[in-house]
């Protein structure tokens, strides 16, 4: 999954970075980096 897809899904669910951080266990900083630089992350 790439960063664009992460951001799109997060926005579709009306979630903030903090919301996703709490649900996923990843820091909001890490999620932001993934979204911005389009890192490929494993599912």
pLDDT in tens, 4-40: 899 999 999 999 999 999 999 999 999 998 988 866 6
Report the pLDDT value the prediction gives residue 9, as an integer from 0 to 100. Answer: 95
Q: Give the pLDDT confidence score for residue 2 in this predicted structure.
A: 81
Count: domains in the chain? 1
Task: Please report whether residue 15 resides in a domain.
Answer: yes
Both structure tokens of 18? 């903090």
Q: According to the model, what pLDDT value does residue 25 have?
A: 95
20, part of any domain: yes
Whether 14 maps to a domain, the answer reads: yes
Distance of CA 30 to CAs 22, 26, 39, Å?
Answer: 12, 7, 10
Q: Does any domain span residue 8?
A: yes
42 part of a folded domain: no
The pLDDT assigned to 43 comes to 60
Does some domain include residue 43?
no
- Between CA 40 and CA 16 the distance in angstroms is 20
Domain that holds residue 26: 3-37
Please say whether the beta carbons of 31 and 6 come within 8 A.
yes
Burial track 6-31 (b if 16+ CB lie within 10 A, e otherwise) = bbeebeeeeeebeebbeeeebeeeeb
């Amino acid at each position: 999954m790439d960063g664009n897809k992460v951001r799109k899904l997060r926005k579709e669910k009306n979630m903030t970075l903090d919301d996703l951080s709490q649900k996923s266990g990843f820091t909001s900083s890490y999620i932001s980096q993934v979204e911005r630089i389009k890192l490929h992350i494993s599912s």
